[in-house]
Structure 1
Amino acid sequence: MPLLLELLGSALDSGMTVQGALRAVAYVAESDIQTRLLRVVAGLEIGASWQNSWEGNTSRRDVAQIHDALSFGALTGASSAPLLYAEALRSRRAASRSAEKRAAALGVKLVLPLGLCSLPAFIALGIVPVVMAMIPSF
């Protein structure tokens, strides 16, 4: 998703209209996102309002994220590209934090299996030879 947001920001920075940028980004997105974005573009091109064009297409979280990032600029006339770049950065940071949390949890979850695997080896190689050496031979 961050890549799509950055592509959309780059398209808007290059001078494309919102409809043109959405169409260009839709063709490189996965099929469900592509369908939803092309519906939005079609609505905007026939003259529907911003809210009506997006209505029913924001049920998917990714498309809702694009809508939220574009809405302020589309409704006020301000440039949307900086907002898109900021949203992409926020999304990447959130994904990075989530990956770090999962990695930390993995370390905790691996303690028990590793302990169960290494305990028999420790007993077989460390304790059994000592006990065998302590048993008097007859």
Structure 2
Amino acid sequence: MLTAAALSLLGGAVLCWPRVRPGVVTRPGRLLKWLRERPVRDRSVSGVSELLRSAATLDLLAACLAGGLPVSVALEAVGPAASPKTAAALRSVASHLAVGVGPAEAWAPVRDRPGLTELSVAAVRTARAGTALAAHAKDLARRLRESLSAEAEERAERAGVLLAAPIGLCFLPAFLCLGVLPVVLGLAGRLDGLL
């Protein structure tokens, strides 16, 4: 009886043992290093922070344009809030617009920046139609934040589901050994005495 309970508990522990390289658990520093070096399947943290900075930059651009600044001056003003590569692309666009380059050519450096591709398309379209670029920038910033929020909610839900499986695998053998097995053995002993 005791050996069956011990084997069940041991089986649960073996099933829940993390799959790490040998020697990783011996020192906490090595465990942290292993966790940092694991490949990330989804969008990286730097990609998310880049998109958040792009959304903040778009909000600032919308505020500058709504305040009446010309597009080239507004792009120069929001440059420090952006990441270094995005700031360089915005400065390039501002300098192109300042010297009179056409909108399609002037906005080309921004097309490959995360979150700003739609801004370049909207800027070319507004230059032809004469509509306000501020509304497009504000709408794009809102959509970027909503997509990041939805992605974060999906990740949290996925993590909850993935965490439930190992917990169930660890606690199920213990529940069977400590909760169900003693009751069954007690009932079997009483039935044996009755027969």
**TM-score higher than 0.5:** yes
Partner residue in 2 for 1:58: 111
Partner of 1:5: 58
TM-score, normalised via structure 2 length: 0.62
**Which amino acid in 2 is paired with 1:34?**
A
| 1:72-98 C-alpha deviation (Å, 9 max, x unpaired) | 323322111122222222222222222
Find the aligned partners of 1:33 and 1:17 in 2 and give their Cα distance.
19
Give the share of equivalent positions with the same residue, in percent: 33
RMSD value, Cα: 2.2
CA distance in 2, matches of 1:61, 1:115: 40
The higher radius of gyration belongs to 2
Report whether the alignment pairs 1:100 with 2:153. Answer: yes
Superposed CA offset, 1:4-54 (max 9, x none): 211110000111110111111111111010111111111112221111112
Secondary structure of the structure 1 residue equivalent to 2:131: coil
Q: Which one scores higher on RCO, CA 8 angstroms, separation ≥ 6?
A: 2
Moved over 3 A (4+): 131-136
Preserved contact between residue 93 and residue 109 of structure 2 (Cα < 8 Å): no
TM, length-normalised to structure 1: 0.83
Which amino acid counterpart does residue 42 of structure 1 have in structure 2?
S
Q: Identify the residue that residue 125 of structure 2 maps to in structure 1.
A: 72
Task: Provide Cα deviations, 1:57-79, integer angstroms capped at 9, x if missing partner.
Answer: 41223231331343332332211
Q: How many residues get paired?
A: 137
Structure 2 unaligned residues grouped into runs of 5+ = 1-53, 190-195
Show structure 1 runs of 5+ residues with no match. none
CA distance in 1, matches of 2:70, 2:107: 16
- Give the Cα separation in 2 of the matches to 1:93 and 1:57: 21
Q: How does 1:1-138 map to 2 (within 5 A)?
A: 1-134=54-187, 136=189
AA of the residue aligned to 2:56: L
Check conservation: 2:115, 2:144, Cα contact below 8 A.
no
Which one-letter code corresponds to 2:121 in the other structure? D
| Distance in 2 between residues matched to 1:133 and 1:109, nearest whole Å | 36
